[in-house]
Structure 1
Amino acid sequence: MRFIRKIIPSHPKEDATFYRELKTILGFSPVDLTYYKKAFVHRSVKYVDAKGNPQNYERLEFLGDAMLGAVIASYLFKKVPSGNEGYLTQMRSKIVSREHLNELGRDLNLIKFVSSNVAKSKFGENINGNIFEALIGAIYLDRGYLFCKKFIRKRVIKPYVDIPKLEGKITSYKSLFIEWCQKEKKDFLFDIYDDTGNDTVRHFSVKLSLEGKIIAKGRATSKKKAEEIAAKRAYYAFQKEISQNQ
């Protein structure tokens, strides 16, 4: 990692402040700040090492995602001995859903550490979950699996994991709506189109039709979000019918 230290600037006073704030978040002392610094570097900064390899949070995000999934899987395996593979997979997906990870990142205010050449106001919501996963990856590289597990238990499992509540939580209204339509052999259509209007950020709108009739609409900065908004509105419009089919 000596190359990264040369590429990512180091300032003693800033490092001291970063160390103190990071220790409070982690619940233990970090050893090598280099890992954690990289966990908050956005690709727009364009840092590279001596071999020209990009130095940003994306690879750590990949590692953190894997570690988070492994720790949560182990926890559920022990916590719910009666759960089959499908149940355990579904529960893990609910815990590590993008929405939940974004919430975790926001609660810790991790975005304040991000180094970027892009205004933070232009970041999408997923930046919060991405850097949370990158932080987990940094912990693993710095202190190993046990400290990684300790952090996940403290910041994810203990405050947020409630098995009974999770069982009733809907993580994707779109998937639920489509499954219902397929079981009932109903025709549906998500009609997506650009709808930026006067907004500076690109927006998309969706018209959701059921049996040829528009039943819900959604608008967001991504197609996926717009579809989910429309599907959620459709779900509540047909909640009784959908619930009877589950």
Structure 2
Amino acid sequence: MSFIRNILNSRFDKGGNFFLRVEKIVGFKPKKKGLYVKAFTHRSMNLKDKNGNAINYERLEFVGDAMLSSVIAFYLFEEVPHGDEGYLTKMRSKVVSREHLNELGKELKLIDLVETNIPKQNFGNNIHGNLFEALVGAIYLDKGYKYCEKFIYKRVINPHVDIEKLEGKVISYKSLLIEWCQKEKNSFDYNVYEDTGNDDLKHFSVKLSINDKVVAKARATSKKKAEEKASKRAFFAFQKQITRFI
């Protein structure tokens, strides 16, 4: 317990008072403060409790992901009585997409609270969404379902969930393009190759072909990003046909 107490005290000592900032974000006074310490501790700190268990946000992230899915699922079930299982699943995916969670984490400036041995500018975009999920997990374990549900409504559903807009939102151009190609029986191929060029960071280029014709090219720092970028360009090239499919 003294080890955890030392970590808690260190958060008070840092500028801005960690727990006051957390309280402002969640809208209540945290009871189990150790949970919020974990929610904003990166694995690079290499901290362990007396039993040798890691002290970082990753397990809380797992819980937060489940809670977000649960609350959003029930909201959509009640709000869209005509939606079948496939529709509700797709809509929930749009609300809890990695892109959207990253935006929520940035909006709350959660990265300012994280303890890490890695320079924060070196983190990828997903750190923001990971911290948001971990925070939701901490709220659930600290205060229970109702408080967690209230937080999700306040920070996610009320300001950001618009059913009509969500129906037209694309969360993965690659997935959408592949679905469309399969439905229309079009062949497709992502030809990805390493392309370092003159950049300090390794890049990948991709040529996207549909029915053996190159329809889009893109370049990015990962294969996944390059494929998504090319898919987005192809989407706008075939927007009329694909929109009818959506």
> TM-score scaled by structure 1?
0.92
Q: Which residue of 2 aligns with 1:105?
A: 105
Deviation at 1:141, TM superposition (A): 1.2
Q: How many positions carry a matched residue from both structures?
A: 245
Q: Which residue of 1 aligns with 2:233?
A: 233
Letter in 1 for 2:103: E
The answer on whether the counterparts of 1:215 and 1:234 sit within 8 Å (CA) in structure 2 is yes
Percent identical across equivalent pairs?
60
Q: Which residue of 2 aligns with 1:68?
A: 68
Letter in 1 for 2:240: K
Range 194-203 or range 149-158, more displaced? 194-203
The answer on whether the counterparts of 1:7 and 1:49 sit within 8 Å (CA) in structure 2 is no
Distance in 1 between the 2:123 and 2:51 partners?
A: 29
Change (3 A) 1:61 1:201: farther
Q: Which residue of 2 aligns with 1:119?
A: 119
Change (3 A) 1:164 1:120: same
In the TM superposition, 1:156-175 aligns within 5 A as 156-175=156-175
Change (3 A) 1:36 1:200: farther
Change (3 A) 1:198 1:132: farther
> TM-score scaled by structure 2?
0.92
Deviation at 1:7, TM superposition (A): 7.2
Range 56-65 or range 223-232, more displaced? 223-232
* SS, match of residue 81 in structure 1: coil
Moved >6 Å (runs of 4+): none
Question: CA deviation digits over 1:58-109, x for unaligned, max 9?
Answer: 1110000001100111111111122111111111111000110000001111
In the TM superposition, 1:9-88 aligns within 5 A as 10-11=9-10, 12-14=12-14, 17-88=17-88
Distance in 2 between the 1:3 and 1:125 partners?
A: 34
The answer on whether the counterparts of 2:8 and 2:34 sit within 8 Å (CA) in structure 1 is no
Distance in 2 between the 1:4 and 1:48 partners?
A: 9
Change (3 A) 1:47 1:202: farther
Deviation at 1:123, TM superposition (A): 0.6
Change (3 A) 1:235 1:4: farther
Q: Which residue of 2 aligns with 1:144?
A: 144
RMSD between superposed Cα atoms in Å? 1.9
Distance in 2 between the 1:15 and 1:146 partners?
A: 31
Range 65-74 or range 27-36, more displaced? 27-36
Q: Which residue of 2 aligns with 1:243?
A: 243
Deviation at 1:51, TM superposition (A): 2.0
Range 177-186 or range 12-21, more displaced? 12-21
Change (3 A) 1:7 1:59: farther
Change (3 A) 1:208 1:154: same
User: Where in structure 1 are there 5+ consecutive unaligned residues?
Assistant: none
Q: Which residue of 1 aligns with 2:4?
A: 5
Change (3 A) 1:202 1:130: farther
Distance in 2 between the 1:4 and 1:194 partners?
A: 47
* SS, match of residue 17 in structure 2: helix
Letter in 2 for 1:5: I
Distance in 2 between the 1:201 and 1:135 partners?
A: 32
Change (3 A) 1:140 1:190: same
Deviation at 1:24, TM superposition (A): 1.2
Change (3 A) 1:199 1:38: farther
